[in-house]
């Protein structure tokens, strides 16, 4: 719900004003129909006794307040080691106030002002007055596009771009809402009713607080009449356990029936997928074997009746190139056999005549006056060359004899070769 809309400021920097206008537009589109969120733009809040600061956007929900600054961070900003901020404008560094420290003081003064007017802003719950001590006050800074922050020691967790503004607020709201329903943490959760939200919004805008114009609330206010409870069993408003807090560990939590059924279903699907993969693998192997068998034809063997291998079968196993060495080997064997036959047909040479017995060596040595050797046992088997009888001289062969001899030898060889050819 929008209680105060955005107003353009012509005196502001165009870059900062553009970021502020876009932030206001995104907040309006996100929370204009949400009754649990109130949106205020351009709220003046007290910083010191005689000084106020303009807060660009204030988001008020039932679990706290979020202050948003969308005009401070633009351009090139440098932060030194002392935490001093400066903006670079036309090549010059101009000092600027640290917006993070500024909004810390604003949050502190806002909590004090709300506490000073607690009677008008918060109603009593079951007879007890609530306070603003534990109310969360969050701060967000919107960084303009094409801007940069250079420096160390800056907590940039609350410095975001405008695209993440509404998402950040919704996440914070959901986190506080979850804490409310926790067993023990919910007792300390801050929460205000819808009439109190409108009262706080009017207080921030400086308007008069008129609760008669606010939406009704389920909780009792001082102006409402208390209805007596129906007689019966007394109800327990708040119970405090005296037992120690039991820590529930994740390993001790057992899954329910639905979870077990889902796990069983997932396990069955995984098994089915694995079986399907195995079946597909077997089919692929069979297909490969069939394709290989079609490419290589095989002849069935008759194991009952053994087959004999003939010469034609052996010859068909070799190529013409492999038969050439075998033919050369056969020719060589034939030539060798013919040569042996030719040698056998040659005429035999007469035996040598017998050699007369040689004179003893001792008598020859004495005739020549040679000294007697120690032993002649090694020379007993030798004969004197000059005592060997001359062999009978053989008649010399003429050219005609040689021709006739070779003709006799070559004719049978040539005839044999012609027969084989």
pLDDT tens-digit readout, 267-320: 999 999 999 999 999 999 998 888 888 776 555 545 455 555 566 666 665 555
Percent of the chain at pLDDT > 70 equals 68
Range(s) of the domain holding residue 60: 2-217
Residue 25: pLDDT band with limits 50, 70, 90: very high
Residue 315 lies inside a defined structural domain of this protein: no
What mean pLDDT do residues 100-105 have? Answer: 89
The whole-number pLDDT of residue 257 equals 84
Average pLDDT over residues 364-388: 49
pLDDT at 280: 92
Number of H helices, E strands in the chain: 10, 12
Q: Which pLDDT does position 222 carry in this prediction?
A: 40
Find out whether 193 and 125 touch, Cβ atoms under 8 Å: no
Distance CA 126, CA 236 (A): 13
Report pLDDT for 51: 84
What is the pLDDT at residue 276? 92
Mean pLDDT of 226-249: 52
Summary mean pLDDT of the chain: 76
Q: What is the per-residue pLDDT for 26?
A: 92
**What's the pTM value of the predicted model, to 2 decimals?**
0.51
pLDDT grade for 380, boundaries at 50, 70 and 90? very low
In the sheet that holds 85-89, the strands lie side by side as 92-96, 85-89, 76-79, 148-151
Higher-scoring residue by pLDDT: 299, 131: 131
- Domain membership flag for residue 30: yes
- Cα–Cα distance list, 305 to 178, 300, 312 (Å): 90, 13, 20
- What is the rounded distance in angstroms from the CA atom of residue 102 to the CA atom of residue 45? 12
DSSP string computed for 200-245: HHHHHHT----GGGSPP-SS--TTSPPPPPPSSSPPPS-----SPP
Task: Give per-residue pLDDT as tens, 346-368.
Answer: 665 555 444 454 455 555 555 55
Q: CA–CA separation, 157 vs 152, rounded Å?
A: 14
- The reply to whether 227 falls in a domain is no
Give the pLDDT mean for 206-228: 61
Between 66 and 367, the more confident residue is 66
Higher pLDDT, 152 or 122: 122
Residues 6+ apart with CB under 8 A from 365: 372
Contacts of 91 (CB under 8 A, 6+ apart): none
Q: Is residue 89 part of a domain?
A: yes
Question: What's the pLDDT score for residue 229?
Answer: 44
Lowest-pLDDT choice from 60-69, 229-238, 241-250: 229-238
Is 92 inside a domain boundary?
yes
Which stretch of 56-60, 127-131, 305-309 has the lowest confidence by average pLDDT?
Answer: 305-309
pLDDT band at residue 228 using 50, 70 and 90 as cut-offs: very low
Measured at the alpha carbon of residue 50, what is the angle toward residues 45 and 56, in degrees to the nearest 5? 25
Of residues 33, 40, 36, the one with CA closest to residue 57:
40
C-beta separation of 71 from 56 below 8 A: yes
How many domains in the chain? 1
Residue 200 lies in a domain: yes
Single out the residue of 45, 87, 84 nearest to residue 65, CA to CA: 45
Does residue 136 belong to any structural domain of this protein?
yes
* 41 in any annotated domain: yes
Other CB atoms closer than 10 Å to residue 212's CB: what's the count? 6
Stretch 71-85: mean pLDDT = 86
Given a cut of 90, whether residue 406 has pLDDT beyond it is: no
């Amino acid at each position: 719900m929008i209680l105060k809309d955005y107003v353009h400021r012509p005196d502001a920097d165009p870059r900062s004003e553009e970021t502020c206008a876009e932030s206001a537009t995104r907040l309006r589109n996100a929370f204009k129909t949400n009754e649990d969120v109130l949106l205020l733009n351009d709220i003046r809040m007290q910083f010191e006794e005689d000084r106020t600061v303009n807060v660009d956007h204030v988001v008020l929900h039932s679990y706290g307040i979020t202050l948003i600054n969308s005009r401070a961070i633009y351009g090139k900003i440098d932060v030194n080691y002392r935490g001093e901020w400066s903006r670079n404008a036309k090549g010059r560094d101009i000092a600027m106030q640290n917006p993070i420290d500024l909004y810390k003081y604003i949050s502190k003064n806002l909590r004090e002002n709300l506490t000073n007017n607690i009677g008008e802003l918060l109603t009593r719950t079951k007879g007890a007055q609530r306070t603003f001590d534990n109310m969360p006050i969050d701060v967000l800074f919107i960084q303009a596009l094409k801007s940069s922050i250079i420096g160390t020691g800056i907590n940039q967790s609350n410095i975001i771009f405008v695209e993440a503004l509404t998402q950040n607020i919704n996440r914070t709201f959901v986190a506080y809402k979850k804490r409310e329903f926790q067993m023990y943490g919910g007792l300390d959760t801050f929460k205000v009713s819808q009439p109190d939200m409108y009262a706080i919004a009017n207080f921030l805008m400086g308007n008069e607080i008129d609760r008669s114009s606010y939406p009704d609330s389920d909780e009792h206010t001082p102006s409402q009449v208390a209805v007596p409870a129906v007689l019966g069993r007394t109800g327990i408003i708040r119970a405090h356990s005296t037992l120690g807090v039991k820590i529930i560990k994740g390993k001790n939590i057992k899954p329910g029936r639905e979870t077990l059924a889902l796990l069983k279903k997932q396990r069955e699907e995984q098994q089915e997928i694995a079986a399907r993969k195995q079946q597909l693998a077997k089919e692929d192997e069979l297909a490969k074997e069939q394709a290989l068998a079609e490419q290589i034809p095989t002849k069935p063997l008759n194991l009952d009746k053994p087959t004999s291998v003939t010469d034609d079968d052996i010859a068909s196993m070799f190529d013409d190139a492999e038969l050439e060495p075998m033919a050369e080997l056969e020719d060589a064997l034939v030539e060798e056999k013919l040569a042996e036959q030719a040698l056998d047909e040659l005429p035999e040479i007469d035996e040598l005549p017998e050699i007369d017995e040689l004179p003893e060596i001792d008598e020859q040595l004495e005739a020549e006056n040679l000294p007697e050797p120690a032993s002649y046992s090694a020379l007993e088997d030798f004969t004197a060359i000059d005592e060997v009888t001359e062999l009978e001289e053989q008649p010399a062969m003429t050219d005609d004899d040689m021709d006739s001899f070779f003709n006799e030898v070559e004719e049978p060889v040539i005839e044999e070769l012609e027969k084989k050819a």
